[in-house]
Amino acid sequence: MAVAKELIKVAKIFCKADIIKFQTRNIKVWAERMPDMYNGPHPNPHNSYGNTYQEHREFLEFSIDQHVELKRYCEEIGITYSTSVWDIDSAKGIAALNPEFIKIPSACNTDYRMLAWLCENYSGEIHVSTGMTDKKEIDRIMNLFIEKKRNKDVVLYNCTSGYPVPFEDVALLEINNLKKKYGNKIKAVGFSGHHRGIAVDIAAYTLGAEYIERHYTLDRTWQGTDHAASLEPEGIRRLVRDLESVRKALNYKEKEILDIEQIQRKKLKYVGKYKR
């Protein structure tokens, strides 16, 4: 909890991020779904916090009561709290906290029972990642939201599931496809990146992604598989700074010659005469 609160504080004060998002899953449910994986050792023992993958996940998982504490802390310092939910039990527990939005990770976006429950019982926004998801599956996901009349609360994220993702696999132009096919049916399109650096995120924003999500850590050398594919505070700070700069620059001229140009026009511009 101390590390989580430090992440929240640094994200708000130093990085100036708008939202911080956690992950929530019922480990027993996932152990039943994937017994071979959860009963076996962590695929990379160096990163494990237990003798089995289940023990590893249980060591890392926050309880719903701890999420209550995290959400309260976010509210105290003025940053939006959210979390990804990995199963319907987690969805029910987090929905009771009434966060502004709940995220559906790529691994769970075809858990239609969970999606339907959220549509019927949770009034906030539902953000959905589309990593490792084919176009027919995305159609089915969207059809469910449309049938439930919740599609205008949906944010669809372009995403490639890998840690880290090489640049040639980021596939940024899929943002265009999501906007073209679903743009008038949903609230917004987002981008969830697992690449290195921050240049790609700026491009995603200019293509129309309204939410930019990145993994975030205090130290990329820490034990655990996600840290190496995450941004440290300085990286998040620079990303927020550059996104804000690009946001200001993405406009048209208010008039043909701006006030800032008039000074240079008088000083530098030669205006020739034209006679027909």
Cβ atoms of 150 and 128 closer than 8 Å = no
Cβ atoms of 175 and 189 closer than 8 Å = yes
Q: Say what the pLDDT of residue 251 is.
A: 95
Does 43 fall in a domain? no
Q: Say what the pLDDT of residue 180 is.
A: 98
pTM attached to this predicted model = 0.92
276 residues of the chain, pLDDT tens digit each: 999 999 999 999 999 999 999 999 999 988 898 998 898 988 888 888 888 988 888 888 999 999 999 999 999 999 999 999 999 999 999 999 999 999 999 999 999 999 999 999 999 999 999 999 999 999 999 999 999 999 999 999 999 999 899 999 999 999 999 999 999 999 999 999 999 999 999 999 999 999 999 999 998 888 777 777 899 999 999 999 999 999 999 999 999 999 999 999 999 998 888 887
- Strands lying side by side in the sheet with 188-193: 19-24, 80-85, 101-104, 125-129, 154-159, 188-193, 211-214
Does 36 fall in a domain? no
Q: Identify the three-state secondary structure at position 222.
A: coil
**For the domain that residue 217 is a member of, what is the CATH number?**
3.20.20.70
Q: Say what the pLDDT of residue 45 is.
A: 80
Q: In total, how many domains does the chain have?
A: 1
Rama region for 251: left / alpha / beta (φ>0; ψ in -120 to 50; rest): beta
Q: Say what the pLDDT of residue 228 is.
A: 75
Which residue range forms the structural domain that includes residue 13? 2-25+61-268
Does 167 fall in a domain? yes
Q: Say what the pLDDT of residue 271 is.
A: 85
Burial class (CB in 10 A: 0-12, 13-18, 19+), 109: buried
Does 160 fall in a domain? yes
Q: Which two tokens stand for residue 181?
A: 């096919």
Q: Say what the pLDDT of residue 253 is.
A: 95
Does 40 fall in a domain? no
Does 219 fall in a domain? yes
Q: Say what the pLDDT of residue 56 is.
A: 84
Q: What is the DSSP secondary structure assignment for residue 231, as one 8-state letter?
A: B
Does 132 fall in a domain? yes
Q: Say what the pLDDT of residue 242 is.
A: 98
Does 227 fall in a domain? yes
Q: Which residues of 204-238 are buried (b: 16+ CB within 10 A; e: fewer)?
A: bbebbbebbbbbbbeeeeeeeebbebbbbbebbbe
